[in-house]
Amino acid sequence: MMKKRVVVALGGNAILDGDASAEAQQANIEKTVAYLLNFIQNGDELVIAHGNGPQVGNLILQQAASDSEENPAMPLDAAVAMTQGSIGYWLQNALDNALAAHHIDREVATVLTQIIVDKQDDAFLNPTKPIGPFLSEAEVKTAAANNKAFRFIEDSGRGFRRVVPSPKPLAIKESKVIANLVSEAVITIACGGGGIPIYQDGDSYQGIEAVIDKDSAAERLAADIDADILIILTGVDNVYVNFNKPNQQKLGHVTSEELRVWAGEGQFPPGSMLPKVEAAIDFVERTGKQAIITSLENLQHPEEGTVISKASHTVS
């Protein structure tokens, strides 16, 4: 198989799936890396983007619980940087160990990635990005009472979660650095947690409180570094229309135009599948290349997932 430049977007929920301990998250990352080895063994230039919704939400709750004049809570952009660093460290460590075990001579690097956003983005007036743990109705009442500035929504039938602003990425400040690393065959971890949101203020950059959608950031990065393919991971092997209904339909090879029509019909939940679909459409229409939405477990046969292109054809 010809080697490719591949960007894989990994969800934060795949890393934290109930047990929030460092040990459990590291164990999940080790399982994830086992699936990514297929790309590395093929000689592909691999970039890994990852989410941090559960992790940054947990960190913010911890910060709020211990907030004091002597030990003040950090702002959201700093919390994104902190979780970007911790998850990047776990991923880098697991990759290093897997490479050594398989006698593969490749380097791994984590890039602390800043994403430039528009300070006037409407997202700051309408928080929509779920972060943190899923809460019951009783738990969310307690959390809302203890943190009056927090906003919560019901998330896809799985419980309540805090929501924060999620502005669109305009540019990735470190995209040239990442492209240079990838060109040198360095396995690169970037855009962790969607990247640290910053905005331009004259000749300087300032952090701003938000969490950028990691699929949107991964799409922007994939386009910037001229990736051959964008793979967005989710909890199911394929995207569906009429999901969980008697007439549900699994999507195999589809065009971005078809996917856009289904999205316009409200087929994809805003808090889960819709951002992935939108990112895939954007990448395909921006670059003319292919995007795939599938599960981690399906990575050995990604062509069996939902493959999106501008014209119907199979993955080469």
Catalytic residues: 12-13, 129, 214, 276
- Tally helices (H) and strands (E) across the chain: 9, 17
Alpha helices per DSSP H over the chain: 12-15, 22-41, 53-65, 76-101, 137-146, 175-183, 214-224, 256-264, 273-287
DSSP 72: P
**Residue labelled with tokens 């292109």:** 309
H or E segment at 206? Answer: strand 204-207
> 3-state DSSP call for residue 109?
strand
> 3-state DSSP call for residue 265?
coil
Distance CA(271)–CA(53), nearest Å, equals: 12
Distance CA(240)–CA(246), nearest Å, equals: 12
DSSP 238: S
**Two structure tokens written together for 155:** 């998330």
Distance in angstroms between the alpha carbons of the first and the last residue of the chain: 9
**Two structure tokens written together for 178:** 């990442």
